[in-house]
Amino acid sequence: MENKNQFKPYIPAEKVTPEFTVTSIVMGILLAVIFGAANAYLGLRVGMTVSASIPAAVIAMGVIRVIMRKNSILESNIVQTVGSAGESLAAGAIFTLPALFLWAAEGKMDKPSILEITLIALLGGLLGVLFMVPLRNALIVKEHGILPYPEGTACAEVLLAGEEGGANASTVFAGMGLAAAFKFVIDGLKVVPSEVSFRVKGFAGEIGTQIYPAVMSVGYICGPKISSYMFAGGLVSWLVLIPCIVLFGADLTLYPGTAPIGEMFAAGGASAIWGSYIRYIGAGALAAGGIISLIKSLPLIVRTFRDAVKGMKGGMGSGSERTAQDLSMKIILVAIGVLTILVWLVPAIPVTLLGAVIVVIFGFFFATVSSRMVGLVGSSNNPVSGMAIATLLIATIILKMTGDSGVHGMQGAIAIGSIICIVAAIAGDTSQDLKTGYLLGATPKKQQIGELIGVIAAAFAIGGVLYLLDSAWGFGTEELGAPQAMLMKMIIEGVMENNLPWALVFIGVFLAIAVEVVGIPVLPFAIGVYLPVQLNACIMVGGLIRLAFDRMHKEEKEKERIISDGILYCSGMIAGEGLVGILLALLAVFGIDTAIDLSGKLNLPTVVANIGSLIVFALIILTVLKFSIWRKKKA
């Protein structure tokens, strides 16, 4: 095992360069809010979020190196540290908090205030960063060479290849601009339909694709394997389960449907069956997938927690060396104590002081697990949703047993689940950022302060973003499916009110178990079962493009460059579409969306409109090729 004396970072400990500057903090806050908002929108639509560290680092290099003519790799590192906090906080928040809006829409409770959402997000985010600080020495320093931290190492590589900063940054910005234009044409002006669907007469199944740049980009970034698992889930639900339900139950009215299945299908097509039945099957599969991933990780979780706590006994980095300085342990302990009291006192979180202590202890456990697991398997394989499901089940059962069983208990369970979910997401992100800093020779204390600033900025933005998206379209709708939040809502209602269609949920559970037995990763498959097949197909297209790039007969270095450029371009497209999604939500709230809607004026025949959609989709794919495989590199 290497130790800190053997490892030499890129910037030596004795060298002091600009790092924690006004420029880096302001840019970081801007990117935290931008990527936080974009990822919130993406996660609510697709059920998945993407890492913002690398695009944030590339944008930072583009601005600091090219525009400001400064050569400071540590400044760029602080920008990505602050900026990536927004994406992680958004991921934790959107998995849980929209459930409160869904209950408000059903008239069960008042809508949560922006202050409540901000406080829940802030408490979870700050605890996530603070829990990671004492773990840095144990996980990042002592385990260097053992825990790879894939995203953190990749981000350091991108920053070290800073000579290409300008060209790479232009790729991200091109993706943002072009995706923004495509999104505005598709969903703003509505010149062409946003999805194309095909049906066969006499068969109740449906297949098709959406044409969104961000959705396709998710497939490219996740790669062909994850995309194919999601697509397989979509095929099972839309071409197997829906036709079976319509074939065998045409004359039946089955709960939670309110009309005969045949009538529902005649009126609303496969989408009506999906809304009433498939979503519960998908929720069962998702819950089973989360719990299976948690059970499979249990030995690793226990070992991780034991090793990390053992490693902490060696003390935190508090040496005189710049690269070994962490925030003071006294400050950490006082801050955690204050936040524990706030968890107890915030009205939206109905727990006693003992309950608040339990929440914080659970939080520390999951933060430790999350930090080490992202070190081993990367952020995308971190079972955050499994941890959230387990926490929600335990919290709901405890609240019900203590007599807090009504709406108040449901609200409390989701608040507790939100804090734990955000803690786990932020702890994972912080550890990746600290790994990047360790490799580059950053000052840990400055990075930790940067993470706290990023969390605060994103927490204040997330409430407004959720309110805006809810006002524009509402959660659980076609525009914003919010799969994880719908799942969390179903779990809590199922325990508190015992009103779930359990037969459908168990079909999903056993479908997930069957898939696990076959050896297919359950969570991407379960998300595929839950989401519309058109969305899964669009993700699959991105996965196929990535597969084609992976199979290219080019020299390894050139292939790596093409794939990397594609990831940067797709990251830009996700950010661009997410931001226009927020803009369109604003227009919808103020009623301007109908004024710019051209679909009624054009009134294109269905066939022509579908051909137009496919042409736009082809253009989106061509832009990916243009900024990756056809991009001319300057000497």
Residue 448: pLDDT over 80 = yes
Looking at per-residue pLDDT, the higher value among 330 and 380 belongs to 330
The pLDDT of 89-103, averaged and rounded, is 92
Count of CB atoms within 10 A of residue 395's CB?
A: 26
From 226-235, 443-452, 575-584, the region with the lowest mean pLDDT? 575-584
CA nearest 36: which of 471, 482, 465, 433? 465
Predicted local confidence at residue 362, as pLDDT: 85
Task: Give residue-wise pLDDT tens across range 554-563.
Answer: 888 888 889 9
Residue 373 has pLDDT above 70, yes or no: yes
Per the CB < 8 A criterion, the answer to whether 450 and 443 are in contact is: no
Q: Cα 190–193–196 angle (5° rounding)?
A: 170
Alpha helices (H) along 346-406: 353-377, 384-401
Task: Give the integer Cα–Cα distance in Å for 184 and 577.
Answer: 8
Q: How far apart are CA 60 and CA 73, in angstroms?
A: 9
Q: What angle do CA 234, 562, 425 make, to 5 degrees?
A: 55
- pLDDT, tens only, 337-356: 999 999 999 887 877 787 78
Quick check: 577 pLDDT over 80? yes
The two tokens of residue 72 are 């400071």
Tokens representing 125? 């985010």
Q: Supply the pLDDT for residue 4.
A: 42
| pLDDT recorded at residue 393 | 80
Q: What is the pLDDT at residue 207?
A: 95
What's the chain's Rg over C-alpha atoms?
24
pLDDT band at 6 (very low <50, low <70, confident <90, very high): low
In tens, the pLDDT along 535-572 reads: 899 999 999 999 999 998 788 888 888 998 898 898 88
* Mean pLDDT on 482-488: 86
Residue 2 has pLDDT above 50, yes or no: no
55 upstream amide cis, omega within 30 of 0: no
- Each residue of 140-185: pLDDT tens digit? 888 887 778 878 887 887 788 764 555 677 888 899 899 999 999 9
Render pLDDT for 193-217 as a digit per residue (tens, 0 to 9).
999 999 988 899 999 999 999 889 9
Is 450 or 481 the better-scoring residue by pLDDT?
450
Burial label, 602 (beta-carbon count in 10 A; 0-12, 13-18, 19+): middle
**Which pLDDT score, from 0 to 100, does residue 572 have?**
86
Residue labelled with tokens 């994850």: 226
pLDDT tens digits along 120-130:
999 999 999 99
Domain boundaries, the chain: 1-202+263-530+564-635
Q: Return the pLDDT at 548.
A: 94
Q: Given this model, what pLDDT does residue 384 score? A: 74
Report the pLDDT averaged over residues 483-508. 86
pLDDT confidence of residue 3: 46
Give dist(CA 600, CA 463) in Å, integer: 34
Kindly state the average pLDDT of the residues 567-585.
87
Residues 484, 98 contacting (CB under 8 angstroms): no
Is residue 593 within 8 Å of 188, Cβ to Cβ? yes
Query: pLDDT higher for 294 or 515?
Result: 515
Q: How many Å apart are CA 3 and CA 144, to the nearest integer? A: 7
Which token pair is 131? 């829990």
Give residues with Cβ within 8 angstroms of 214, minimum separation 6: 42, 45, 46, 179, 183, 573, 574, 576, 577, 578
Return the pLDDT at 319: 57
Residue 556 vs residues 195, 565, 570, 582: alpha-carbon distances, Å: 36, 14, 21, 39
User: Does residue 413 register a pLDDT over 80?
Assistant: yes
CA neighbor of 417 nearest in space, from 439, 393, 444, 399: 393
- Angle in degrees, CA 513, 515, 519, rounded to 5: 110
Q: Which pLDDT value is given to residue 377?
A: 62
pLDDT band at 324 (very low <50, low <70, confident <90, very high): confident
Q: For the residues 269-288, what does the mean pLDDT come to?
A: 86
Beta bridge partners of 556: none
Residue 228 confidence (pLDDT): 95
Q: Judge whether residue 517 has pLDDT over 90.
A: yes
Q: Which of 635, 623, 634, 630 is nearest to 552 (CA)?
A: 630
d(CA 529, CA 525): 6
pLDDT of residue 1: 41
Q: For residues 383-388, give the mean pLDDT.
A: 71
Output the pLDDT for position 307: 67
- Is the confidence at residue 77, as pLDDT, over 90? yes
What average pLDDT does the chain have?
A: 86
Instruction: Report the C-alpha gap between 210 and 536 in whole angstroms.
Output: 8
**pLDDT in the model for residue 162:** 65
Residue 316 confidence (pLDDT) above 60: no
In this predicted structure, what is the pLDDT of residue 511?
Answer: 96
Q: How does residue 60 score in pLDDT terms, banded at 50, 70 and 90?
A: confident
For residue range 8-53, what is the model confidence (pLDDT) as tens digits? 888 998 888 889 999 999 999 999 999 899 889 988 987 777 777 8
